[in-house]
Amino acid sequence: MGTPRPQARHADLQRNILGFCRLLRERELLVSPSEVIDALRTANAVDLGDRQELKVALRSVLTSKPEDIPVYDWTFEEFWRSAPPERVEERVEDSQVQSDPNASQGDDSEPQPAEGDDDSSEATEELEMPLYSPVETLAGRDFSAFAADDMAEIARAILVVAKRLATRESRRYRATRRGSAIDLRRTMRRNIKYGGTVIELARKARKIRKPRIVLICDVSRSMDTYSRFLLQFLYAMQNTLGRVESFVFSTRLTRVTEYFHSGDIHQALDRIAAEVPDWSGGTRIGQSLKSFNDDWSLRLLNKHTVLIIMSDGLDTGDASVLELEMERLQKRAGKVIWLNPLLGNEDYRPLARGMSAALPHVDLFASAHNLASLQALGRHLVV
């Protein structure tokens, strides 16, 4: 006879699935109670000793859009880690004991419930499940404060921010079966056959607004501290919104949209750094924008497009060229946004020649020095 497959205790499995679904909701996945029930049924039907089988099975019921998959995958790896599914409860409890300064060393007993709780209450369950939210934890930290070891963590958080921007609701509604709002006009029309008595309700929900965006990022030497983080933002935006064209420049402009089709952000960044000829070089913003205007703007820009330029504005070229090209961009794009990481410093003033020349032709001048500043961009991505 073969070795029997490992089985989790039913209560532990249920608690872990609920905790996992809760974490996915915190990271902006649309996991409703019906998906949670499906996940519980699915987990009971698969081999819990096979992590990949569990991962794929739960993914099939807990994701609804292609952009959900990257968030789901790294959340699964983080939540279940290297422990087999049936041991996750013990892993969570052990981590709490180790983090408790009042816990006695070498005490192997399980954590006791709070006074007055005879069993595992919902409050205890909340404490035992991972509640880490990457955006809220990292939002206020300046990108320049992150070490190399933080790159994976910030990449995941940037992906969450991009997903939030990609799923912003518009003011317009669409017909749906499970919307939260009642469509009065369709309800009255549908119930005419019942003599006007309201028996069937027609529902509606807000449409998801996905703007068309062109992103142009400065990768010159003066932007080294921030450019890698901003390129991760470009990558995340392109892979969640879909309707994004991406460019980088230093002394010359390079289209990098195709680079970001890679499934691995680090491979994409390494390839860009290796193949873009003037990476971390000087800065010729005006000349680079002229190349964009001459070669790309007629194809990519219209009154429904948001153009985002990410640069510190420290141009070594002719400021008059930059001013002329910015004027051309403003006429063609629906909105021009300039994100400057230096604006995160309260003592910064846009006095550099290049920045001064560009500002009269910018609809929004904002910072891009941390996650919070990128997240605040969402309400401006509408024309």
Alpha helices in the chain (DSSP H): 10-26, 33-45, 51-62, 68-80, 88-99, 122-128, 134-138, 151-166, 184-190, 224-241, 265-275, 285-295, 297-300, 319-332, 353-358, 371-375
Q: What does the DSSP 8-state code read for residue 111? A: P
269 is a domain residue:
yes
Structure-block tokens of residue 126: 């909340």
Range of the domain at 183: 170-208
Are residues 191 and 268 located together in one domain of the fold?
A: no
> According to the model, what pLDDT value does residue 64 have?
83
Are residues 258 and 369 located together in one domain of the fold?
A: yes
Q: Are 218 and 312 in contact (CB under 8 A)?
A: yes
Domain boundary among 72, 91, 110: 91
Q: Are 79 and 19 in contact (CB under 8 A)?
A: yes
226 is a domain residue:
yes
Are residues 297 and 250 located together in one domain of the fold?
A: yes
57 is a domain residue:
yes
> Residue 358 sits in a domain of what CATH number?
3.40.50.410
Quote the pTM value: 0.59
> According to the model, what pLDDT value does residue 111 have?
36
105 is a domain residue:
no
Count up the domains in the chain and report the number: 3
Q: Are 236 and 229 in contact (CB under 8 A)?
A: no
- Tell me the average confidence (pLDDT) per consecutive run of 10 residues in the chain, 383 residues long: 43 83 86 86 81 88 84 85 46 40 40 38 35 61 79 76 66 69 81 80 72 91 89 85 87 91 80 81 92 96 94 92 97 96 91 93 94 83 76
272: Cβ contacts below 8 Å, ≥ 6 apart? 219, 231, 248, 256, 259, 279
